[in-house]
Structure 1
Amino acid sequence: MDRTEKHAFVASLASVFADTSLVVVTQPKGLTVAEATDLRRRMRAAGATYKVAKNRLAALALDGTRFEGVKPLLKGPTALAWSKDPVAVAKTVVEFARTNDKFVVLGGALGSQTLDAAGIKALSELPSLETLRAQLVGLIQTPATRIAGVLQAPGGQVARVLAAYAKKDEAEAEAA
């Protein structure tokens, strides 16, 4: 990489860090090409990005962002993962680390708060943004469904009472 490419890379990483909510630092020691490809595919499916970056360039990109707290984690071979949905990237990283011993989650940052590996694991256990939205819509719709049921019940009861009187009148008319 020449100097202009390095400047462009640092600028692009800095702009990414300005738009994202979570950055996870991992250590992919000894991953095969197939395993790395599988991880990247999982990340894309979750709407996340996974990038191996030189620590010095990543540290330069982190300068002035709210994720500066992850700089001490940038030692040895590291890779960064990020997404706008913090739970999605955390779930993907933790799930991959669970199935692959060579892949280690070092920590990360959620906004300006620095998280260790346990914090990333705890974040991964939360429901995703899509699940939370679905639950919220369900909560909003439930009262409306109950209100409609309550409003329909008296009308149904009145209709049953009228039907019973109608049957009673028919029975009396046939008897007479």
Structure 2
Amino acid sequence: MALTLEEKKSVVAEVAEVASSALSAVAAEYRGLTVDELTELRKKARDGGVYLRVIKNTLARRAVQGTEFECISESLVGPLLLAFSQEDPGCAARVIKDFAKEHDLLQVRFVAVGGELLPANDIERLASLPTRDQALSMLMAVMKAPVEKLARTLNEVPGKLVRTVAAIRDQKESAA
């Protein structure tokens, strides 16, 4: 069923709003997937904080105009679904990559991050990026390490003194 002009405008506005705040985008060809498989993918995307949309390429081109994802306009060819990461740059890539492992018919076509169009094989790099929580914990570990080392070093001075005094005491006891 064809969309009316008003419906097309609302779809373009919705996708444009999402694209303006998204951190990354992944486009994949879904030809051959069943409705149940696409529904499963949509559920996984919702759970992962990913906006997933099957949209006509002409409408998608209009939607990404003026956003950092304008670079994908020329690559929008064929039946594609667009996945936009809302929470962290790697979440869309992780969802699509994990789903593609189980379903060979889902083929990644390209990835876009920071206004740069990347080839499909870069989905591995994007998917391996840490989540926000993982990045914060890594940062905290790096920040905590010097303080811990300082505490161990400062604790070592009195500890060494105690061991030296104990060694002298043991030496005197054994001599006596």
Q: Same fold (TM over 0.5)?
A: yes
Q: Which amino acid aligns with 1:136?
A: L
Q: 1:25: Cα distance to partner? A: 1.0
- Contact 1:51 1:81 survives alignment (8 Å): yes
Q: 1:7 aligns with which of 9, 26, 33?
A: 9
Q: Which amino acid aligns with 2:141?
A: G
CA distance in 1, matches of 2:154, 2:36: 60
CA distance in 2, matches of 1:148, 1:19: 43
Which structure 2 residues correspond to residues 96-115 of structure 1 after superposition, within 5 A?
96-115=99-118
Larger-Rg structure: 1
Q: Which amino acid aligns with 2:12?
A: V
- Contact 2:85 2:92 survives alignment (8 Å): yes
Which structure 2 residues correspond to residues 1-176 of structure 1 after superposition, within 5 A?
1-84=3-86, 85-162=88-165
- Contact 2:27 2:80 survives alignment (8 Å): yes
CA distance in 2, matches of 1:95, 1:161: 59
CA distance in 2, matches of 1:34, 1:144: 53
Gaps of 5+ in 1: none
CA 1:162–1:43 in structure 2 vs 1: closer, same or farther (change >3 Å)? same
Q: 1:9: Cα distance to partner? A: 1.7
Q: Which amino acid aligns with 1:80?
A: L
CA 1:121–1:164 in structure 2 vs 1: closer, same or farther (change >3 Å)? closer
Q: 1:146: Cα distance to partner? A: 1.2
Among all aligned residue pairs of Structure 1 and Structure 2, give the percentage whose two residues are the same amino acid: 33
Gaps of 5+ in 2: none
CA distance in 1, matches of 2:9, 2:26: 22
TM-score by length of 1: 0.83
Q: 1:164: Cα distance to partner? A: 5.8
What secondary structure is seen at the aligned counterpart in 1 of 2:68?
coil
CA distance in 1, matches of 2:103, 2:22: 26
Q: 1:54: Cα distance to partner? A: 1.8
TM-score by length of 2: 0.83
Q: 1:71: Cα distance to partner? A: 1.7
Q: Which amino acid aligns with 1:53?
A: I
